[in-house]
Amino acid sequence: MVKLHRIILCMLCLVVSAIVNLPVTFSQNIAEPVIKETSGKILSVNTVASTLVVRLFNDENVESDNNVMLLVDSDTLITGQDSSLAISDLKPESKVEIVYEASADGKNTAKSIMVR
């Protein structure tokens, strides 16, 4: 009977140890967001959803087949020639240089947008 209690106690300790270490295991698998810099041409602007879609340029500054959807939030710095702009000032076909944060969940948040 004592042997059975020891086995149950050991199993209980293993279960508790696994539960305590579970959050640490998950937190190690979360990827840090990556900051990316690129340029492209605005395809569309949605001022209601605060998003825009940009067709990216390749290394030769030629349009590629790759698009990126960007979330524009209150921290996004949008600039033109010598002034600050709002998302409503952005127009399709405008060439832009962008810095954005790409997260593992596919959400791309614009940090800065400079209209050329």
Determine what percent of the chain falls in helix, strand and coil, rounding each to the nearest 5.
25, 40, 30
77, β-bridge pairs: 112
Is residue 23 predicted with pLDDT exceeding 60? no
Check residue 54 and give its pLDDT.
95
Give the count of beta carbons closer than 10 Å to the beta carbon of residue 114. 16
pLDDT band for 103, please (50, 70, 90 cuts): confident
Is residue 26 predicted with pLDDT exceeding 80? no
pLDDT band for 101, please (50, 70, 90 cuts): very high
Per residue in 29-56, pLDDT tens?
566 789 999 999 999 999 999 999 999 9
Per residue in 70-100, pLDDT tens?
999 999 999 998 899 999 999 999 999 999 9
By the 10 Å C-beta count (0-12 exposed, 13-18 middle, 19+ buried), 78 is classed as: buried
pLDDT: which is higher, 64 or 87 = 87
Check residue 74 and give its pLDDT.
93
Q: Of the candidates 70, 74, 76, 11, which has an alpha carbon nearest to the alpha carbon of residue 39?
A: 70
Distance CA 77, CA 109 (A): 11
pLDDT band for 19, please (50, 70, 90 cuts): low
> What is the mean pLDDT of the segment spanning 12-41?
70
